[in-house]
Structure 1
Amino acid sequence: MFNYFVFCLFFVGIFTNICQSIDYRCLYPAEVGPCRKFILKYAYDYDSDQCIPFQYGGCGGNVNRFDSVYACEQTCRYSSNLQPHYVHQYRYYQH
């Protein structure tokens, strides 16, 4: 989260729309987590601009996890209006 704010402050003049429009949760890939439950959740996939269903294991994972397609789309679909090459450079990945 701290890196996101540093990014926004550093590039505020050039990338103002990204800082105002992107919810950082939408940049993570869908992640099942280490547990083995089957809980239907939805994650935003930036490349396809779709909220996709996935099996959440019940623990761990990341914040790109929504209870419904509607919640996912309300949070993430608006970011598809951004230029992809700007977003892909600064996409969040867990190490």
Structure 2
Amino acid sequence: MYALVAFFTTVAVFSFSKAQSDPCRMLIELGLCLAYFPSWGYEQSTGQCVEFIYGGCQGNLNRFYSKEECEATSTILSTAQQARLPEMLAKEAFGYYELLNELFHAKVAALLLTAQVITATAVVLPWRR
């Protein structure tokens, strides 16, 4: 029983610490000082990187020097993106289906052509049997 409690406690602590160390799950903090550092942060509600002015003191890891750096770090899907995910996956799956269908038909056409060449060769050159 104690081992089970210890296990779940460890899992809970690890999950919490993982969420706290992921910059994209943190709120954008402007900082308490009055400096003026243009920065970028990931806004979870919109699922996009937004520009903000960092004051220079405290803050957190959700602060990047460029939009590209922010987008490269942040891989969380917004609610709107999550809602469109089944549609996006269906389109991608259909694209793979079309590709496989084309490859299959190309392979069948190649096999039929090979069979026709073999048949024509057998008809034209009957003495080679």
TM-score where L is the length of structure 2: 0.46
Q: Does 1:79 align with 2:72?
A: no
Moved over 6 A (4+): none
| Residue identity matched to 2:49 | C
- Structure 1: tracts of 5 or more residues without a match: 9-18, 85-95
Identity among equivalent pairs (%): 32
Task: Give the C-alpha shift of residue 59 in structure 1.
Answer: 1.6
- CA shift, 1:41, in A, is 0.2
Letter matched to residue 7 of structure 1:
S
Whether 1:6 and 2:25 are equivalent positions in the alignment is no
Greater RCO, 1 or 2 (C-alpha within 8 Å, sep 6+):
1
- 1:5 deviates by 6.1
Tell me how many residue pairs correspond in the alignment. Answer: 69
**Computing the radius of gyration over CA atoms, which structure comes out larger, 1 or 2?**
2
Matches of 1:4 and 1:59 in 2, distance apart?
30
Asked if residue 70 in structure 1 is aligned to residue 78 in structure 2, the reply is no
Q: Which has the higher helix share?
A: 2
CA distance in 1, matches of 2:54, 2:15: 30
TM-score (norm 1): 0.61
